[in-house]
A = this chain, B = another copy of it.
Amino acid sequence: MHVQVISSVNEACSANFHHKTAVVIDVLRATSTIATALSAGAASIVPAETVMDARSLQRPEDIMAGERFCRKIAGFDLGNSPKDYHADAVKGRRIILTTTNGTRAIHKSTKADSVIAASLLNAAAAAKYALHLQRDVVVLCAGSHDDFAIEDGLCAGLFIEELLKLRVGRFELDDFGTAMHALFRDRAAAIRDTLLQSQSGKRLIKLGLREDIESCSCVNTLDAVPCLSGDSLILRNLS
């Protein structure tokens, strides 16, 4: 298995994804929210690139969700805080979700054979599922506004650590993946603090959303693997 890690959406091009499994990571907060929502029983999540795209997809029974500048979009039902996606709110419902970086990263990856959404919450489950798919892997860190975001790199490192625990046979990692694995090893005991001190973390704290960082810092608490099927992310679970 060859694993390549891409530092931000800006760095990705279609050619990176052909015949591969794409693992999209946006820890703060899109892929954490997606894993949480599907674990809570949402039927599916449709990632939309723009607010206009989201509105055009809307059916009466859908939940409209997403953020711009970290805030809930005016007129939408939910923002991008994992805590709002509890079973009472989302069970059995289709969610149309648009976020600044995460949903854009998912759209960028659609040339891959499979697209899965990973976060700190479900990295081990995502690694297990990626191994099951038996393709080379490209990990796309969504980043923030075209820049690298350390929380996504940290999660890429955790995902690699989880792959290695599964005793993959042949395993090749590119230089950026090796660096992200080293980042994870250095910070494994300080995941929450790394998120709190990250650029995205500081921005969320200023907006009073510190609780979201706490929700997104938990490691391997979910077995859910959101996987793209057509235009929707649905649940896959090997366990």
Binding site for B on A (CB under 8 A): 7, 147-150, 153, 174-176, 178-180, 182-183, 185-187, 194, 197-199
> Which residues of the partner chain B approach A198 to less than 8 Å between Cβ atoms?
175, 178
Name the prevailing secondary structure of the A interface residues: helix
Distance, CA A201 to CA B6, complexed state (A): 20
Distance, CA A199 to CA B5, complexed state (A): 14
A186 contacts which of B7, B150, B175, B182 (Cβ < 8 Å)?
Answer: B182
A179 contacts which of B174, B178, B179 (Cβ < 8 Å)?
Answer: B179
A7 contacts which of B148, B150, B185, B197 (Cβ < 8 Å)?
Answer: B148
Q: How far is the CB of A162 from chain B (nearest CB, A)?
A: 17
Which of A174, A176, A198 has the largest number of chain B CB atoms within 10 A?
Answer: A176
> Which residues of the partner chain B approach A147 to less than 8 Å between Cβ atoms?
174-176
> Which residues of the partner chain B approach A187 to less than 8 Å between Cβ atoms?
182
- Closest residue of chain B to A186 (Cβ to Cβ) is B182
- Closest residue of chain B to A148 (Cβ to Cβ) is B176
A149 contacts which of B153, B175, B180 (Cβ < 8 Å)?
Answer: B175
Distance, CA A149 to CA B186, complexed state (A): 19
